[in-house]
Amino acid sequence: MGGPGCGKGTQCKNMATKYGFCHVGLGQLLRQEAQRSTRWGQKIHDIMLQGLLVPTVGRAPDVVIVFDCSMETMVRRALHRGRLEHRADDCESAIRQRLETYYTLCEPVLTFYQQKNLLCNILAEEAPENIFAKCCSVVESLQ
């Protein structure tokens, strides 16, 4: 877990490659659906442009890695990604709204997993390879 631009997508792809995990990039799937001319696609598109979270479901995790990153770093990274990938949802106003949404809606989720002793916080301000080494330590501690 982490706000937009914290590095979770990059690190998930790295872990999938190293450990043979299946990486499902929910954001990528939602962006693809948002481009389709369907009622659901338009709804997803509208939700994402407002910087809100699209409702999802999933299974209970064995561990929850939280990428701790400053708001300034996440905004800078997401703006850079938006320029590189031409992502409409990575404009500054949408990023800041998504960060507000993340902080508001994810706090109870973080508290829930903290109470279950499933949270592992990783400082995500460092170089990607240093963050990845920390992720590997977490994964390898589960085996």
- What's the longest Cα–Cα distance across the chain? 44
Within 10 Å of residue 64's Cβ, how many Cβ atoms? 17
70 near 4, Cβ under 8 Å?
A: no
Neighbours of 43 (CB within 10 A): 13
What predicted TM-score, i.e. pTM, was given to this entire model? Answer: 0.76
**Could you report the per-residue pLDDT of 15-73, keeping only the tens digit for each?**
999 999 987 777 778 888 889 989 989 998 888 888 777 776 766 789 999 999 999 99
Q: 8-20+58-142 belongs to which CATH class?
A: alpha beta
Query: Has residue 120 got a pLDDT over 90?
Result: yes
Domain range summary for the chain, segments of one domain joined by +: 8-20+58-142
- Residue 60: predicted pLDDT: 79
Question: Which stretch of 67-76, 103-112, 122-131, 134-143 has the lowest confidence by average pLDDT?
Answer: 103-112
Confidence band of 141 (pLDDT split at 50, 70, 90): very high
- SS3 (DSSP) at 95: helix
For residue 13, is pLDDT > 90? yes
